[in-house]
């Protein structure tokens, strides 16, 4: 890891329901959550590592990745789309699983779980 920084692509729908985000944590405990969905870097929050890990699942909605410059928006934009293409299958609804009250939105051949709007 470059200087102890750790990088994850995470799916956190409360920050961005359409794309994976880059979550960076440094040894001092500082964090940044960045979106590259538009093709440019945008900081969307600074949640704690504990909160991100509690809200995501390793290998499904959280994927550790190699360090890379955060200002390389093209790299991270591409990475978010690669992870998201795999994540769509992971987050896709399975009709054999019972879930809490949710409704489902169809996008192409994928059906997404969504919590009702409040």
pLDDT tens digits for range 61-101: 999 999 999 999 999 999 888 876 655 544 433 322 333 33
Burial 88-117 (b: 16+ CB within 10 A, else e): eeebebeeeeeeeeeeeeeeeeeebbeeee
pLDDT band at 55 (very low <50, low <70, confident <90, very high): very high
pTM of the model: 0.70
Six-digit token string for 87: 């994540």
């Amino acid at each position: 890891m470059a200087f102890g920084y750790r990088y994850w692509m995470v799916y956190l729908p409360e920050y961005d329901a359409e794309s994976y985000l880059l979550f960076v944590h440094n040894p001092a405990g500082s964090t940044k959550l960045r979106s590259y969905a538009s093709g440019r870097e945008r900081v969307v929050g600074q949640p704690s590592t504990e909160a991100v890990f509690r809200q995501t699942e390793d290998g499904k909605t959280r994927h550790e990745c190699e360090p890379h410059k955060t200002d390389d928006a093209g790299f991270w934009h591409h990475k978010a789309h690669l992870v998201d293409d795999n994540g769509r299958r992971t987050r896709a609804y399975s009709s054999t699983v019972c879930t809490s009250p949710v409704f489902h939105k169809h996008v192409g051949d994928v059906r997404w779980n969504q919590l009702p709007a409040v």
